Structure 1
Amino acid sequence: MTPPPPPPPPAAQADHRRTFPPSPETSGPATTWWGKAWVAALEALSLDPARLARGHAYADAGHVDTITVTPGRVVAYVRGSRARPYRADLRLRTLADDDWDTFLDAAAEHPAHLEALLAKTMPQALLDPDSPLSDVPLLPATAGDLLPSCTCPDAGRPCKHAAALCYQVARLLDEDPFLVFLLRGRDEREILDALSRRNAARTATETREPPSVPAIGAREALEQARLPGLLPAPLPPPAHPGTPPSYPQTRGAPDPLALDHLATDAAIRAHTLLTTGADPIAGLTPWQDAVRIAAAQPGSGLTAATRSLYTSLTRALGRTPTELAKAVAAWRQGGATALEILDEPWDPPAGPFDRARSALLALGHQDFRPSRNRLTAGRFQLRYGRDGLWYGYESDSGSDDWWPGGAAGNDPVHVLDLLR
């Protein structure tokens, strides 16, 4: 098996990186034909349907954290049954320049292809086996085309964590088919610019009558009485936040990674405000906002980039990196409400709390000891929130170091099962 070429160095990837925040809940399987084609390619290359099924369940349960896509590579941290996440990594072979020229020339032959790509859809003819593009694969076609890896001890290809990342990528492809091109080596701007140049060259060689376009004089258009009726409809909001620029490492300048964090966070806030009319951080305390920023990054302070971020946030707020890592795990479990469950025990009403304990006993689970809003048995703990949901926690045997795990839910038995 010939491995794909190594990814380009960080400096070369800076302009081609896309980062997608974690999605706590998914909307089901891929819906577009290209998203389904990605899933079909994954399942055709896998030798273990059971691992795929576990990976699909992990993706549906929101276990995949922030996803970073660069040419030939997809990386994300995936949370399993343990408190510490694993890093899943997908590598794809990038296309050579000659392959790109073949693909772009054939795509530019049909104006409908360019129109479809501008509308964020993938023309199915671009993958027709009878077309000139049949030798230029966009989706994985062979075992050497898609190489999954993971930091977990499972040697499966893919393991359940890498499979979860693959299924989540299919959902990202539903929203933005241009990710297929980025995975093969070129970003959206490069593709559109190349197609536009080819389209302009074709247009310049054709003789056409200029189209008849309704016109109005500038003076008449600017008259106060006519102006309101001539204003165009507002543009629709973009499907996702924009990608921030890359920042150079310059002596005396701010840390480029810190600038990238700030710019990415500002873009996400602006997009949320534009599409929902609500500021996502309105009313947050400085600690809650720091946890929110850290939770948007992959991992739990394990990489060099996140270690720097965790250090700066904890130093500013007088906290420790371990406290921040725990808070991040809680935030990913359920936002500000889950963070409150981590920090503040409270006395819940007896009804739902007692019913939960009885339900656990009825299903054969060992006796859970109650303490305020918490039920504890061995290395597992369930915490009841003011929102009426149960939140799972786990700790090493004999330790009182509790970490949030799994997803919150109405059924304490189901929440416990997610921890096991």
Structure 2
Amino acid sequence: MTTPRGARGAVPRHDDRRRSFPQVAPREAPDGRFAATWWGNAWVEALEDTALDPARLARGKAYAGRGHVDAITVTPGRVVAYVHGSRPRPYRTEIRMRTLGDDGWERFLDEATARPDHIAALLDKDVPHALEAVTGLLPAPGDLVPDCSCPDDGYPCKHAAALCYQAARLLDEDPFVLFLMRGRGEQELLAELTRRNAALSAAETTAAAPPMPTVPARAVFAAAERSGLPLPPPLPAPDRPGRPAVFPPDPHAPDPLALDLLASEAAVRAHAFLTTGHDPVAALTPWQDAVRLAAAHPGSGLTASTRALYRDLSYALDRTPTDLARAVAAWRQGGAAGLAVLEDPWDPPAGPFDRARPALIAADFPAFRPWRNRLSTDSLQLRLGRDGLWYGYESDAGREDWWPRGAPDHDPVGALTDLLGR
């Protein structure tokens, strides 16, 4: 018997073209701007440039800042939310915009896959200006059409303005929300970028390296043995690791992006072993190798592929994604030595550690409390590594939630100065 669609027990199908975001917590904007990225500010400017009443914009910005905008739903061409006003019942508010046609998406995908740094930027939640220039992803003045159930006929009303400002915060955190507004979901775009990148890599490999004629190894060894001549010298090692194979998307196969990462890592290790006779990661523990893999992945846990990688690696080693994210920050700070500083407190001998506190006080830094190899205030910490370097850490005041920050330094004052960005 076929289970009716929507029947109890049926597995819901993921809709890549519909995303809902919980209410954004109110926050202050000291500089008066709601967006932190250039594309987020461009979104706001598109509405502000066509607004007929600056006073309504100001009230809408105040509404957004006070948390009057409920959960936001984004679908192609539409951003919808309920916005609380002066009446008990909230108003249904939406911003409409046109979606990109197939030609526009073709231009976007062609430009994105033409340069590897564009793909890396997108995975890291960044939008290169070149992609916007080619496709016109961002709205121009007049492209955003506000609508609201309130009786105010302003263009826009304060509720629509509030929704627009809050939507800019979503764009700051994830530019794939902008792509969804323009008509394509995140998974759909990532799959197409992966397919095109794989096809391009295969074409480059075929064009750059025509197949070489082959001889069975058994025949070569037999001929050398019969003639008493030495075997020919091995072929020279390539200058760089090879490109990974093509992994087309398949619903029953592992994630193509994860396979590409693992294949690239294997190629780098094989090339190092071939050229130096040494495997650079052979001495690592499974946990250290997992941290190294995650640290080599572009992004910082914000993309779908990165989140999946963190989840799978941490689950395999009985850790949490937060444990892995903290370890990745330590690895990016100082490699295996930085990871050891994160995880292994130790008792340093007298000398550099004892001289650190007077040096910090002389540089007008606050007094630090010592504990083993660590010097701490309520929100700053320096850790002395076994390699003689000082590593900076930060935490919210009053919480023992330390995260690696800044570059290590032989001088504790230098490490703290880098941590504070002075």
TM-score, structure 2 normalization: 0.50
Could you tell me which residue of structure 1 aligns to residue 348 of structure 2?
348
Inter-partner Cα distance in structure 1 for 2:246 and 2:413: 46
Paired residues of 2:368 and 2:376 also in contact (CA < 8 A): yes
Q: Indicate whether 1:259 and 2:305 are aligned.
A: no
Distance 1:192 1:313, change over 3 A: closer
Could you tell me which residue of structure 1 aligns to residue 240 of structure 2?
239
SS at match of 1:75: helix
Paired residues of 1:74 and 1:90 also in contact (CA < 8 A): no
Distance 1:270 1:192, change over 3 A: closer
Distance 1:246 1:195, change over 3 A: closer
Q: Deviations over 1:303-348 (max 9, x none)?
A: 1111111111122221111111000111111122211111121110
Q: Indicate whether 1:248 and 2:283 are aligned.
A: no
Inter-partner Cα distance in structure 2 for 1:401 and 1:385: 19
Q: Indicate whether 1:376 and 2:376 are aligned.
A: yes
Letter in 1 for 2:245: P
SS at match of 2:263: helix
Could you tell me which residue of structure 1 aligns to residue 95 of structure 2?
none
Paired residues of 1:329 and 1:403 also in contact (CA < 8 A): yes
Moved more, 256-265 or 314-323: 256-265
Could you tell me which residue of structure 2 aligns to residue 90 of structure 1?
128
Moved more, 354-363 or 258-267: 258-267
Paired residues of 1:74 and 1:89 also in contact (CA < 8 A): no
Q: Indicate whether 1:302 and 2:302 are aligned.
A: yes
Count of equivalent residues: 254
Letter in 1 for 2:320: T
How far the C-alpha of 1:351 sits from its partner, in A, is: 0.6
Task: Give the alignment of 1:58-207 within 5 angstroms.
Answer: 69=116, 74-75=120-121, 87-92=125-130
Letter in 1 for 2:381: Q
Paired residues of 1:73 and 1:90 also in contact (CA < 8 A): no
Distance 1:189 1:287, change over 3 A: closer
Inter-partner Cα distance in structure 2 for 1:358 and 1:297: 40
Task: Give the alignment of 1:249-398 within 5 angstroms.
Answer: 249-251=250-252, 253-398=253-398
Could you tell me which residue of structure 2 aligns to residue 414 of structure 1?
414
How far the C-alpha of 1:232 sits from its partner, in A, is: 5.0
How far the C-alpha of 1:262 sits from its partner, in A, is: 2.2
How far the C-alpha of 1:274 sits from its partner, in A, is: 2.3
Letter in 2 for 1:249: D
SS at match of 1:310: helix
Paired residues of 1:388 and 1:410 also in contact (CA < 8 A): yes
Letter in 2 for 1:416: L
Paired residues of 2:108 and 2:134 also in contact (CA < 8 A): no
How far the C-alpha of 1:268 sits from its partner, in A, is: 2.0
Paired residues of 2:108 and 2:135 also in contact (CA < 8 A): no
Inter-partner Cα distance in structure 1 for 2:129 and 2:224: 55
Could you tell me which residue of structure 1 aligns to residue 78 of structure 2?
none
SS at match of 2:294: helix
Q: Deviations over 1:162-218 (max 9, x none)?
A: xxxxxxxxxxxxxxxxxxxxxxxx957757978999xxxxxxxxxxxxxxxxxxxx9
How far the C-alpha of 1:236 sits from its partner, in A, is: 3.4
Moved more, 270-279 or 401-410: 270-279
Structure with more relative contact order (C-alpha pairs < 8 Å, separation 6 or more): 1
Paired residues of 2:375 and 2:381 also in contact (CA < 8 A): yes
Could you tell me which residue of structure 2 aligns to residue 30 of structure 1?
none
Inter-partner Cα distance in structure 1 for 2:371 and 2:134: 53
Inter-partner Cα distance in structure 2 for 1:191 and 1:245: 12
Paired residues of 2:290 and 2:313 also in contact (CA < 8 A): yes
Distance 1:335 1:355, change over 3 A: same
How far the C-alpha of 1:223 sits from its partner, in A, is: 7.9
Identify unmatched segments of 5+ residues in structure 2: 1-41, 43-102, 139-198, 211-219
Identify unmatched segments of 5+ residues in structure 1: 19-68, 78-85, 94-142, 150-185, 198-217
Paired residues of 1:7 and 1:73 also in contact (CA < 8 A): no
Inter-partner Cα distance in structure 1 for 2:242 and 2:360: 43
Inter-partner Cα distance in structure 2 for 1:227 and 1:17: 49
Paired residues of 1:406 and 1:419 also in contact (CA < 8 A): yes
Distance 1:76 1:145, change over 3 A: closer
Q: Deviations over 1:84-116 (max 9, x none)?
A: xx74443436xxxxxxxxxxxxxxxxxxxxxxx
Q: Deviations over 1:377-411 (max 9, x none)?
A: 24211100111111111112332211011122212
Paired residues of 2:345 and 2:373 also in contact (CA < 8 A): yes
SS at match of 1:350: coil
Paired residues of 1:389 and 1:410 also in contact (CA < 8 A): yes
Paired residues of 2:379 and 2:394 also in contact (CA < 8 A): yes
SS at match of 1:267: helix
How far the C-alpha of 1:277 sits from its partner, in A, is: 2.2
Paired residues of 1:393 and 1:403 also in contact (CA < 8 A): yes
Letter in 1 for 2:308: S
Could you tell me which residue of structure 1 aligns to residue 401 of structure 2?
401
Distance 1:418 1:73, change over 3 A: same
Inter-partner Cα distance in structure 1 for 2:374 and 2:398: 17
